[in-house]
Amino acid sequence: MFTATAYAQTNDAATAPDSELEETIQEAIEVPASQPAESAFPPFETSTYPSQLLWLAITFGLFYLFLQRVVLPRIGGILEVRRDRIAQDLDQAARMREESDAAVAAYEQELAEARGKAHVIAGTARDKAKADAEAERRKAEADLESRLTEAERRIASIKDAAMSDVGAIAEETTAVIVERLIGAKADKPTVAAAVAAAR
């Protein structure tokens, strides 16, 4: 423990006249020329460089292991789940597209059958059969057209939802990465601008 000479004085100094007290305080404040000045700031002393470099290497190694074993697997898991979700959405859209193609093929087949029936009936009652076949064709065409339109609308909405989720997923992932790396939350407009610039 360091004590100044002013504090080491006995009670006699406290009872001394003012001039003696001032001299005692002055002596305590002054640094004798024979005493060396305080050493430099410890991080700038060359004698501590090896230990500083050792601790830097240890700290960096621990930080690297933490990133490798904790942070990156979590981020990888998040990306894998989102990739699987997008793949499932795209598979579902492809399946719906196949269903709509099958509906179009069924429509073509029904149309061909209706025309065949129209030709058979044409022999007996051409005008009546022609009118009936035309009405049936229009009805089937309107039904299939509405089905096809609905299927295409569902495919487009699923695709739009999947593609809009990609931007949101990229923004969320970027915000999580930035937060994990720098320890502070990034504001959404900055993250959104960075993701938009990266596209």
Query: Which sequence spans correspond to the domains of the chain?
Result: 76-198
Over range 176-190, report the average pLDDT.
Answer: 83
Question: Residue 165 — pLDDT band, cuts 50, 70, 90?
Answer: confident
Q: Give the separation between CA 118 and CA 111, rounded to whole angstroms.
A: 10
Is it the case that residue 80 has pLDDT exceeding 60?
yes
Identify the residue with better confidence: 167 or 8.
167
**Which SS3 state, helix, strand or coil, does residue 143 take?**
helix
Is it the case that residue 1 has pLDDT exceeding 50?
no
Q: What is the pLDDT of residue 97?
A: 93
pLDDT in tens, 98-113: 999 999 999 999 889 8
Question: Do residues 5 and 29 touch, judged by C-beta distance below 8 A?
Answer: no
Terminal CA-to-CA distance of the chain, rounded, Å?
63
Over range 161-167, report the average pLDDT.
Answer: 75
CA 87 to chain centre: 18
Q: What is the pLDDT of residue 31?
A: 52
pLDDT in tens, 105-163: 999 998 898 888 878 887 787 888 888 889 888 998 899 999 999 999 999 888 887 77
What are the structure tokens assigned to 180, written together? Answer: 């994990």
Is it the case that residue 87 has pLDDT exceeding 90?
yes
Is it the case that residue 40 has pLDDT exceeding 90?
no
Global model pTM greater than 0.75: no
* Listed residue (102, 105, 110) closest to 136, CA to CA: 110
Identify the residue with better confidence: 41 or 8.
41
What are the structure tokens assigned to 191, written together? Answer: 């993250």
Question: What is the percentage of the chain residues whose pLDDT exceeds 90?
Answer: 34
Question: What is the percentage of the chain residues whose pLDDT exceeds 70?
Answer: 85
Over range 22-26, report the average pLDDT.
Answer: 76
Question: Do residues 167 and 195 touch, judged by C-beta distance below 8 A?
Answer: yes
Q: What is the pLDDT of residue 19?
A: 77
